[in-house]
Amino acid sequence: MMLVFGVAVVINRNPVASALSLVVSFLALAALFMSLDAYFIGIIQVLVYAGAIMVLFLFIIMLLDLRAEELRKINWVASAGGLAVALALMVQIFAVIGRFSLAKQTFPSLARSTSDDVHRIGLLLFDNYNLPFQIIGVVILVATIGAVMLSRRETR
């Protein structure tokens, strides 16, 4: 289902429909994360991606008032070239995975099914990864200021 909607993101001509299929694709991906016992990551995926980022996309699409692209002549040569490169990439990925002997093993079972992964990730984040965490904070601050500066109307 995630893959179907992922394809829908790419082939829809209408940007709004494309963004909505991206939301469904992200929700299905969050379900996959949950199936891998990564509950924290799954919830973050729903909140940040399906919530915040997609609202941002939809907001910009509506703000710019993009309708379905007027039927522009599709550059078939460029499209075919792009698809060919993508297909070559997929074949290579499959070849690598097919050769990877660990890929045929099933997942080992966890010690307990109850999940305290928020606790564990938090400890790791503030302990081993404290400096990257602070750098990420600065990155977000810079990105926010940059976004405000870029979208500010010129006043003089």
Partner 1 sequence: MVTLGDYLIVSGILFTIGFAGVMVRRNIIIILMALELMLNAANLSLVAFSRFHVDPSGAPNYNSQVFVFFVITVAAAEVAVGLAIVVALFRLRQTTHVEDITSLKF
> Could you say which residues in the range 58-97 bind partner 1, by CB under 8 A?
60-61, 63-64, 66, 69, 72, 75, 78-79, 81-83, 85-87, 89-90, 93-94, 97
The Cα 16–Cα 57 span in angstroms is 9
Nearer to partner 1 by Cβ, of 29 and 156: the residue is: 29
For 129, the token pair is 């990864």
The Cα 91–Cα 3 span in angstroms is 17
Name the region of 37 (left: φ>0; alpha: ψ -120 to 50; beta: rest).
Answer: left
Using rule CB under 8 A, residue 1 touches partner 1: no
Q: What string marks each residue from 20 to 59 as x (binds partner 1 by CB under 8 A) or -?
A: --x--xx--x--xx--xxx-xx--xx--xx--xx--xx--
Burial class (CB in 10 A: 0-12, 13-18, 19+), 45: buried
Q: How far is the CB of 129 from partner 1 (least distance, A)?
A: 5
Question: Number of residues in contact with partner 1, rule: CB under 8 A?
Answer: 80
Q: Which of 106, 114, 131, 155 binds partner 1 (CB under 8 A)?
A: 106
